[in-house]
């Protein structure tokens, strides 16, 4: 089973590289606004956002109470699975942009088309990825601070009922 799973993964990655490899970067260099560099910025922004969406949806799935909230559980499962699956072409595009030909074992391997024509494209993608991750972390910190500062509107009602602290469930 491990060998069959490994073979399936290899075939999947080869297919994704074939579909989302140099042809995608060649298309982007001609048709995308800003050329290949604009596409690299877009890929660098979308990758962390899709990963954050995947983590958000998959972490909100509560399998113990899925029958109580069937629609929410199914929606989180579908969106989380789709966003996780969307990361596979993202990874293929990133590795293809960094393929200098030196990662493989043989000495006759030539670099990818995108690396040959845009050797610093990976740096543009990396900078946009780091900026997006920084913005996501900032949004999470600000959101967490606002939640801590927000007054508990149920606190006064709980005092009248004899409860102290958060509303009992």
pLDDT tens, position by position, 60-115: 777 676 667 778 888 888 888 888 888 888 887 877 777 665 555 556 667 777 77
Confidence of residue 135 (pLDDT cuts 50, 70, 90): very high
- Quick check: 148 pLDDT over 60? yes
Contacts of 112 (CB under 8 A, 6+ apart): 21, 22, 25, 96, 97, 99, 101
Q: Is the pLDDT of residue 163 over 60?
A: no
State whether the Cα torsion 161-164-166-168 is positive or negative: negative
Residue 101 neighbours by CB under 8 Å, 6+ apart: 109, 110, 111, 112, 115
Mean pLDDT of the chain: 79
């Amino acid at each position: 089973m491990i060998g069959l799973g490994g073979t399936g993964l290899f075939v999947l990655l080869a297919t994704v590289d074939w579909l989302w490899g140099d042809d995608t970067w060649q298309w982007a260099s001609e048709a995308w606004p800003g050329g290949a560099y604009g596409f690299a910025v877009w890929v660098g922004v979308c990758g962390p956002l899709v990963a954050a969406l995947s983590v958000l949806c998959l972490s909100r799935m509560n399998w113990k109470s899925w029958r109580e909230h069937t629609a929410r559980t199914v929606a989180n499962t579908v969106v989380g699975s789709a966003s996780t699956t969307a990361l596979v072409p993202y990874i293929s595009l990133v590795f293809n942009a960094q393929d200098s030909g030196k990662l493989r074992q043989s000495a006759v391997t030539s670099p990818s088309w995108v690396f040959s024509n845009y050797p610093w494209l990976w740096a543009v993608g990396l900078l946009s990825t780091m900026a997006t991750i920084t913005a996501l972390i900032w949004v999470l910190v600000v959101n967490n601070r606002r939640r801590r500062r927000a007054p508990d509107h149920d606190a006064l009602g709980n005092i009248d009922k004899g409860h102290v602290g958060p509303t009992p469930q």
